[in-house]
Amino acid sequence: MPVSVIIPIAPNDDAWVDLIPQLQLPENSEIVICPGEQNVNPDVSGISENVRLTVCREGQGRAGQMNAGAHRAIHDMIWFLHGDSRINQETLKQLGHGIARKAEAFYFFDLKFLDDGPKAMGWNERAVRWRAGWMKIPFGDQGFLIPKVLFSRLGGYREDLAYGEDHVFVWKVRQEGYPVIRLPAPVHTSARKYRKGGWLSVTVKHVWLTIVQAVPNWLELKRRQLMRVFR
């Protein structure tokens, strides 16, 4: 089955150029590049045969870009990838398994960091495995795969948030009672911001922002679970 891949493009970031040739997708799939108002002209030479590439210039900010790209998508399953994501054949194999299930569920991949960051990034990978695998709270750099109809039913990504639209969307999935399912294959992402900002500083900041955003959403999840029990 074909898939629509949605890739938001940050200002002045060309990391996505190296991702495109890695997207050896099922026949008739599409890649939707979402640069907002930026002027980009993707090179189509590295795209698989029978895969369509389009540019969606609607939407402001990453959440707005992804919502606009999802609205433009023509296939039943949509796969959100960051521009600095990197994938391999195992990722594509598990993508196929997720698409084939045809379930109203939310899927995510394992996160691996590229070797462009500090050596301590191994600790971050362990923390992500615990957060995503045990707590069922993956983040957007783990390649969200979801049926388009379910994404629309959940209202898409919130565009009024200063950060963490991916985090809040996962909570919405859980609050509405849909399964959150791990696909056991890696999506690699850059760790350069940890090198630039300092490993400890960036890590502590992300943990704190996550906790602040998670607490009210966790309380709302528990409230809804109790309501289902006592109906």
pLDDT at 37: 80
Say yes or no to pLDDT of 36 above 70.
yes
Q: Contact at 8 Å (CB) between 219 and 171?
A: no
Say which residue the tokens 């640069």 belong to.
35
44 pLDDT tier (thresholds 50, 70, 90) = low
pTM of this structure: 0.94
Q: Measuring CA to CA, which residue among 22, 31, 25 is closest to residue 53?
A: 31
Beta pairing class for 106-113 and 30-34: unpaired
Q: Where are the alpha helices (DSSP H) in the chain?
A: 16-19, 61-72, 89-101, 121-128, 148-153, 165-175, 192-197, 199-229
pLDDT band at 130 (very low <50, low <70, confident <90, very high): very high
Mean pLDDT, the chain, rounded, equals 93
Task: Name the DSSP class of 86.
Answer: B
Per DSSP, the chain holds a count of helices (H) and strands (E) of 8, 7
Tell me how far apart the alpha carbons of residues 2 and 224 are, in angstroms, rounded to a whole number. Answer: 35
If one compares 205 and 40, the residue with the highest pLDDT of the two is 205
Cα-based angle 189, 181, 108 (whole degrees, multiple of 5): 15
Instruction: Tell me the HSE value of 14 on the side-chain side, using a 13 A CA sphere.
Output: 5
* Residues 64-77: tens digit of each pLDDT: 999 999 999 999 99
CB-CB neighbours of 165 under 10 Å: 20
- When mean pLDDT is compared across 38-47, 94-103, 168-177, the lowest value belongs to 38-47
Strands 77-80, 145-147: pairing is antiparallel
Are 83 and 8 contacting, i.e. CB atoms less than 8 angstroms apart?
yes
Phi and psi, residue 28, nearest 5°: 75, 10
CA distances 132 to 45, 125, 151, Å, are 35, 10, 19
Domains of the chain, first to last: 4-229 (3.90.550.10)
